[in-house]
Structures are given as structure tokens and as C-alpha cells.
């Protein structure tokens, strides 16, 4: 940005992994330079923040003093080299769908174990989890059916598999 003391930078994209390795509270140091075409860039100062602070977007918390510690050590009246205001932060998420992972990398095998201990009650009584009503499935059967219907297409050895 040429010939201005109040630059407005173009938006840029950086993956969260590259910025802070997924640690939203990790300190991120931002160095501010006056860029020169000939390569003799001048250091203006720096500030620190975190991804969590950035992701709040424009707010009173996203105004940063740009400090040049060398100038601060040499000049008693030095306050800062300016301030930086974060105008906006757009966070985009790429969702990794577990089903996609299952489709490409994982073979599922559906195995069932049912607890037939006495604590579940007498199976001939309607209050038992194992009670077999002639009108509806019991809780175990409904749970097994629901899970089986979801994963059946990913289990090549299952009797539930539909080709």
C-alpha cells in the first residue's frame, strides 16, 4: 500500500494449522514492516494475539498496539508505532465426514453382545428389557436395528449388507 500512514491490507487466507497448529490460545506474533520494492523493508513493530482473539472479529479486543522495542528502549516518550485494527475475520471450516473415512479407508464388522443378567428382569415380564412383545420390538432389538441399518452398507460380511 503506497504512500499512506493508514494502510488497509488486502484480505488473506491462512490455515489454522499453519497459524497455530489448532491451538486457539497459542500466541501468534505479527511483525509489521514498511515494504520497499528494493528489498530494504523497514521494521515498524510487532504485536501478539491468538487465533481465539482474532476469531472474535472486529471489536474493542482486536485493536493492537504495534510496538518497536528498540525504539521504546531509546526514546522515553515512545508510546507505540501505531495501532492495528482487525476489520474482520472469516472462519471457514472443512468438515471431515466420518462416513467418507469409512467408505475409503475402513472395513466395519458389526458384532453384538447382549446383557442377559438377572438385573434386567424376567424376560417374560413386560418391564424387562428382554421382554418379547408380539406387538413391538424391545429396547435392545430397536437399538440393534437402528445401528445395523446405518452401518450395514459398510460391513461386507454382515447379513444386513445390501449389494
Structural domain containing residue 150: 98-154
Residue 52 lies in a domain: yes
pLDDT tens digits for range 55-104: 877 777 778 889 998 988 888 899 998 888 776 666 665 555 555 555 56
Residue finishing a domain among 53, 85, 117: 85
pLDDT at 133 over 70: yes
81 and 20 housed in the same domain: yes
Of 85, 116, 131, which one is at a domain's C-terminal end? 85
State pLDDT tens for residues 16-59: 888 888 888 999 898 988 888 888 888 889 999 888 888 877 77
How many domains is the chain built from? 2
C-alpha distances in Å from residue 42, one per residue of 13, 28, 31, 96, 143: 24, 21, 11, 42, 66
- State whether 104 and 72 are in the same domain: no
**C-alpha cell read off for 113:** 453382545
Same-domain status, 33 and 59:
yes
Return the pLDDT at 90: 63
d(CA 44, CA 81): 6
pTM: 0.52
- Do 75 and 24 lie in one domain? The reply is yes
Amino acid at each position: 500500500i503506497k504512500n499512506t500512514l493508514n494502510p488497509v491490507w488486502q484480505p488473506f487466507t491462512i490455515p489454522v494449522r499453519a497459524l497455530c497448529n489448532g491451538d486457539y490460545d497459542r500466541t501468534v506474533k505479527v511483525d509489521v514492516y514498511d515494504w520497499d520494492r528494493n528489498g530494504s523493508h523497514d521494521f515498524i513493530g510487532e504485536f501478539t494475539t491468538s487465533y481465539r482473539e482474532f476469531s472474535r472479529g472486529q471489536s474493542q479486543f482486536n485493536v493492537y498496539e504495534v510496538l518497536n522495542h528498540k525504539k521504546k528502549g531509546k526514546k522515553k516518550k515512545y508510546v507505540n508505532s501505531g495501532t492495528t485494527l482487525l476489520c474482520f475475520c472469516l472462519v471457514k471450516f472443512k468438515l471431515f465426514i466420518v462416513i467418507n473415512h469409512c467408505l475409503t479407508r475402513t472395513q466395519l464388522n458389526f458384532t453384538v453382545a447382549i446383557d442377559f443378567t438377572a438385573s434386567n428382569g424376567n424376560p417374560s415380564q413386560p418391564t424387562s428389557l428382554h421382554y418379547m412383545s408380539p406387538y413391538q420390538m424391545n429396547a435392545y432389538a430397536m437399538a440393534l436395528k437402528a445401528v445395523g441399518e446405518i452401518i450395514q452398507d459398510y460391513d461386507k460380511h454382515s447379513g444386513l449388507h445390501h449389494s
